[in-house]
């Protein structure tokens, strides 16, 4: 009887944790898939409370669902490459962001998610392993400067992926 009660309590806590995600009831602004040659790397979606994107209006959530396994070192390297392309890698390195990212992010696998929730105060990463319904915060919250630099990878007019940006911000049809 005690095991049954503990299992029920655990299940109830799991559902309340899922419902408690800040972005859980937000609306999708747009959705896009990043492909590298013939391979799909991830699906991404941008969420806001009202389903509309406006630069500098918070909160926002960038949800990335990975479609293949990638270790956190490769994710960090890809982030640095995007910051380099945007011309902000020197600022990122000066602020220690590549190391912070590498120490925060988990390895990902097909079906796992990393969510970045951006607010006026900065941003927080969340991780959801494949085949799980629970998203948990990972690492410490980041500053507004990091928030802007991280989101610029997808949302800046200077992004290396303008089609992705267009779909995520709702300027063109989503995937």
Residues 13-46 pLDDT 10s? 444 444 468 899 999 999 999 998 999 999 999 9
The reported pTM is 0.87
Q: Is the pLDDT of residue 144 over 50?
A: yes
On the question of a cis peptide bond just before residue 59, with omega within 30 degrees of 0, the verdict is: yes
pLDDT tens digits, residue range 128-141?
Answer: 999 998 999 999 99
Mean pLDDT lowest among 6-10, 66-70, 151-155: 6-10
Distances (CA, A) of 118 to 60, 91, 113, 173: 5, 19, 16, 23
**Residue 174 has what pLDDT?**
85
* Rounded Cα–Cα distance for residues 155 and 95 (Å): 21
Query: In the chain, which ranges are E strands?
Result: 27-36, 39-48, 60-66, 113-119, 122-128, 136-142
Mean pLDDT of the chain: 90
Distance CA 25, CA 49 (A): 7
Provide the pLDDT for residue 21.
85
What was the pLDDT predicted at 129? 94
Residue 89 in this model has a pLDDT that exceeds 80: yes
3-state SS, residue 119 = strand
């Amino acid at each position: 009887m005690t095991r049954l009660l503990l299992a029920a309590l655990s299940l109830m806590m799991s559902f309340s944790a899922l419902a408690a995600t800040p972005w859980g009831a937000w609306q999708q602004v747009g959705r896009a898939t990043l492909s590298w040659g013939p391979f799909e790397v991830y699906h991404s979606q941008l969420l806001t409370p009202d389903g509309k994107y406006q630069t500098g209006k918070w909160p926002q959530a960038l949800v990335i669902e990975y479609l293949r396994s990638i270790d956190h070192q490769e994710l960090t390297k890809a982030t640095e490459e995007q910051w380099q392309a945007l011309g902000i890698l020197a600022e990122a390195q000066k602020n220690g962001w590549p190391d912070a990212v590498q120490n925060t992010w988990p390895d990902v696998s097909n079906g796992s998610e990393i969510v970045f929730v951006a607010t006026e105060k900065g941003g927080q990463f969340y991780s959801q392993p494949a085949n799980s319904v629970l998203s948990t915060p990972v690492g410490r919250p980041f500053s507004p400067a990091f928030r802007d630099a991280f989101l610029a990878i997808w949302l800046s007019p200077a992004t290396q992926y303008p089609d992705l940006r267009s779909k995520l911000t709702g300027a063109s049809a989503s995937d």
